[in-house]
Amino acid sequence: MYAICPNCGFRHKFLRLPLFILTGASGVGKSTVCLKLAARMKDVVVMDSDILSHSEFDRPETNYREYRETWFRVCKYISQAGKPVVLCGVGEPAQFEQCIERRYFSELHYLALICDDQIHASRLQNRPMWRGSSRDQFIQEQVEFNRWLLDNAKFTEPPMTLLDTSELTVDETVEKVGQWIRSFMNGHV
């Protein structure tokens, strides 16, 4: 595939690779998995979307569209190096599939980490105080989003794959996430 400059007509090769989205409620293990996955998988680039978290992107009235579009632009340019991107963060397919920049990827694959309600609440309560995740309202919101993922993953477009981290170690979770990514990689790198 080639991209063509609308001003001068210059053609350059453009790679349309898959994009892997690792999602889930706060406290299910996304950030921890991201860190370990980046060290283990050298054929993908793993990014934690929290690194671009900023108040200017906190726009629920737009379904966080500009935040998603910004991440798509970052991932688009990274993938031109020939490695697919694994983007870790909170979200669901409707927030990504509506984006203009989505067209630059061959496919989007979604894996949602989920967790048992009690284990999930305990993980949030046991986080360091500076994270602000031990407030009852925050815990309730995250448990509800976790349940929403569990109940709706197969109905989203495209459907999300679920991985329950309740009884898995971090290493076991990282291994399963890696297997999920590799299952889609044939012929892409």
Question: What domains can you pick out in the chain, each with its CATH number?
Answer: 2-182 (3.40.50.300)
Write the CA distances from 13 to 4, 69, 79, 82, 128, integer angstroms. Answer: 9, 22, 12, 11, 47
Q: Helix (H, G, I), strand (E, B), or coil: what is residue 17?
A: coil
Q: Pick the closest to residue 160 from 64, 2, 21 (CA basis).
A: 21
Beta carbons within 10 angstroms of residue 149's beta carbon: 22
Q: What are phi and psi of 28, to 5 degrees?
A: -90, -10
Return the pLDDT at 14. Answer: 73
Q: What are the average pLDDT values for consecutive 10-residue runs of the chain, which has 189 residues?
A: 70 84 93 94 89 62 75 92 93 91 93 96 82 79 95 96 96 97 75
Return the pLDDT at 49. Answer: 77
Return the pLDDT at 189. Answer: 44
Q: In what order do the strands lie in the sheet with 108-114?
A: 45-48, 85-88, 19-24, 108-114, 161-164
Return the pLDDT at 113. Answer: 97
Q: d(Cα 42, Cα 47) in Å, to the nearest integer?
A: 13
- pLDDT digits over 125-162, tens only? 887 776 666 678 889 999 999 999 999 999 999 999 99
